[in-house]
Structure 1
Amino acid sequence: MPSRRADLTSATWRTSSYSNSDGGQCIEVSDDFLGVVPVRDSKRPDGPAVVFGSSAWAAFVSDMR
Protein backbone atom coordinates (compact mmCIF):
# COMPACT_ATOMS: atom_id res chain seq x y z
CA MET A 1 0.00 0.00 0.00
CA PRO A 2 1.50 3.43 -0.91
CA SER A 3 2.24 5.87 1.86
CA ARG A 4 -0.21 8.72 2.31
CA ARG A 5 2.29 10.67 4.36
CA ALA A 6 3.24 14.09 2.96
CA ASP A 7 6.91 15.05 2.79
CA LEU A 8 6.93 18.38 4.62
CA THR A 9 10.71 18.76 4.91
CA SER A 10 10.73 21.55 2.32
CA ALA A 11 7.71 23.38 3.75
CA THR A 12 7.89 27.08 4.45
CA TRP A 13 5.74 27.76 7.49
CA ARG A 14 3.96 30.98 8.42
CA THR A 15 2.49 31.72 11.81
CA SER A 16 -1.10 32.77 12.24
CA SER A 17 -1.66 36.53 12.29
CA TYR A 18 -3.43 35.99 15.61
CA SER A 19 -0.21 34.81 17.28
CA ASN A 20 1.28 36.91 20.03
CA SER A 21 4.35 36.96 22.23
CA ASP A 22 2.38 35.67 25.24
CA GLY A 23 2.68 32.07 24.07
CA GLY A 24 -0.99 31.75 23.14
CA GLN A 25 -2.38 28.80 21.26
CA CYS A 26 -1.11 29.36 17.72
CA ILE A 27 -0.87 27.46 14.48
CA GLU A 28 1.43 27.55 11.50
CA VAL A 29 0.41 26.76 7.94
CA SER A 30 2.31 26.15 4.72
CA ASP A 31 1.19 27.44 1.33
CA ASP A 32 3.80 25.41 -0.57
CA PHE A 33 1.65 22.46 -1.66
CA LEU A 34 -0.90 22.32 -4.43
CA GLY A 35 -4.29 21.09 -3.28
CA VAL A 36 -3.45 20.66 0.41
CA VAL A 37 -2.67 22.84 3.44
CA PRO A 38 -0.42 21.40 6.16
CA VAL A 39 -1.11 22.81 9.65
CA ARG A 40 0.99 22.39 12.80
CA ASP A 41 1.24 23.66 16.37
CA SER A 42 3.67 26.60 16.48
CA LYS A 43 4.79 25.55 19.96
CA ARG A 44 5.81 22.11 18.63
CA PRO A 45 7.37 22.72 15.22
CA ASP A 46 9.00 19.28 15.24
CA GLY A 47 5.70 17.62 16.11
CA PRO A 48 3.12 16.23 13.71
CA ALA A 49 1.20 18.23 11.13
CA VAL A 50 -2.36 17.73 9.96
CA VAL A 51 -2.88 18.03 6.21
CA PHE A 52 -6.23 19.41 5.00
CA GLY A 53 -7.55 19.58 1.48
CA SER A 54 -7.45 23.16 0.19
CA SER A 55 -11.23 23.46 -0.07
CA ALA A 56 -11.76 22.09 3.45
CA TRP A 57 -9.17 24.53 4.83
CA ALA A 58 -10.79 27.47 2.98
CA ALA A 59 -14.20 26.53 4.39
CA PHE A 60 -12.75 26.29 7.92
CA VAL A 61 -11.05 29.70 7.67
CA SER A 62 -14.22 31.25 6.24
CA ASP A 63 -16.33 29.84 9.09
CA MET A 64 -13.87 31.14 11.69
CA ARG A 65 -14.11 34.69 10.40
Structure 2
Amino acid sequence: MPGNPNAVAECMEALLPALKHGLKQLRGDKREKHPHHVPHAETVPTDAWEQSYMSASGGGSEVSCSCCK
Protein backbone atom coordinates (compact mmCIF):
# COMPACT_ATOMS: atom_id res chain seq x y z
CA MET A 1 0.00 0.00 0.00
CA PRO A 2 1.14 3.54 -0.66
CA GLY A 3 2.19 5.76 2.26
CA ASN A 4 -0.22 8.60 1.50
CA PRO A 5 -3.54 8.15 3.41
CA ASN A 6 -5.57 9.37 0.40
CA ALA A 7 -3.80 6.92 -1.89
CA VAL A 8 -4.42 4.09 0.60
CA ALA A 9 -8.13 4.95 0.64
CA GLU A 10 -8.25 4.93 -3.16
CA CYS A 11 -6.44 1.60 -3.34
CA MET A 12 -8.72 0.04 -0.73
CA GLU A 13 -11.76 1.36 -2.57
CA ALA A 14 -10.64 -0.51 -5.68
CA LEU A 15 -9.43 -3.61 -3.82
CA LEU A 16 -12.28 -4.38 -1.41
CA PRO A 17 -14.95 -5.56 -3.90
CA ALA A 18 -12.54 -8.00 -5.52
CA LEU A 19 -11.13 -9.09 -2.15
CA LYS A 20 -14.61 -9.83 -0.75
CA HIS A 21 -15.46 -11.90 -3.82
CA GLY A 22 -12.14 -13.75 -3.71
CA LEU A 23 -12.51 -14.65 -0.04
CA LYS A 24 -16.04 -15.95 -0.66
CA GLN A 25 -14.73 -18.15 -3.47
CA LEU A 26 -11.92 -19.49 -1.28
CA ARG A 27 -14.45 -20.37 1.41
CA GLY A 28 -16.42 -22.36 -1.14
CA ASP A 29 -19.33 -19.96 -1.68
CA LYS A 30 -20.16 -20.73 -5.30
CA ARG A 31 -23.32 -18.57 -5.46
CA GLU A 32 -21.39 -15.71 -7.02
CA LYS A 33 -20.67 -16.72 -10.59
CA HIS A 34 -20.04 -14.87 -13.79
CA PRO A 35 -23.34 -14.60 -15.70
CA HIS A 36 -21.81 -16.38 -18.72
CA HIS A 37 -20.12 -19.13 -16.69
CA VAL A 38 -20.52 -22.58 -18.22
CA PRO A 39 -19.98 -25.46 -15.77
CA HIS A 40 -16.95 -27.61 -16.49
CA ALA A 41 -17.51 -31.09 -17.84
CA GLU A 42 -16.99 -33.96 -15.47
CA THR A 43 -13.63 -35.59 -16.06
CA VAL A 44 -12.30 -38.95 -15.06
CA PRO A 45 -9.50 -38.45 -12.53
CA THR A 46 -6.17 -39.74 -13.77
CA ASP A 47 -3.07 -40.68 -11.91
CA ALA A 48 -0.43 -38.29 -13.31
CA TRP A 49 2.43 -40.53 -12.14
CA GLU A 50 1.04 -43.61 -13.88
CA GLN A 51 0.20 -41.64 -17.02
CA SER A 52 3.73 -40.21 -17.15
CA TYR A 53 5.27 -43.65 -16.60
CA MET A 54 3.13 -45.25 -19.29
CA SER A 55 3.96 -42.48 -21.73
CA ALA A 56 7.71 -42.71 -21.04
CA SER A 57 7.79 -46.49 -21.16
CA GLY A 58 5.93 -46.74 -24.45
CA GLY A 59 2.63 -47.76 -22.89
CA GLY A 60 3.64 -51.29 -22.00
CA SER A 61 5.26 -52.98 -19.08
CA GLU A 62 8.44 -53.81 -21.01
CA VAL A 63 11.61 -52.01 -19.98
CA SER A 64 12.79 -49.73 -22.77
CA CYS A 65 16.26 -48.68 -21.61
CA SER A 66 19.33 -50.76 -22.48
CA CYS A 67 20.70 -50.78 -18.92
CA CYS A 68 17.74 -52.74 -17.49
CA LYS A 69 17.39 -55.41 -20.19
The TM-score bracket by the shorter chain reads under 0.3
Q: TM-score, normalised by structure 1?
A: 0.20
More strand by share: 1
More helix by share: 2
Q: TM-score, normalised by structure 2?
A: 0.19
Q: In terms of Rg, which structure is larger?
A: 2
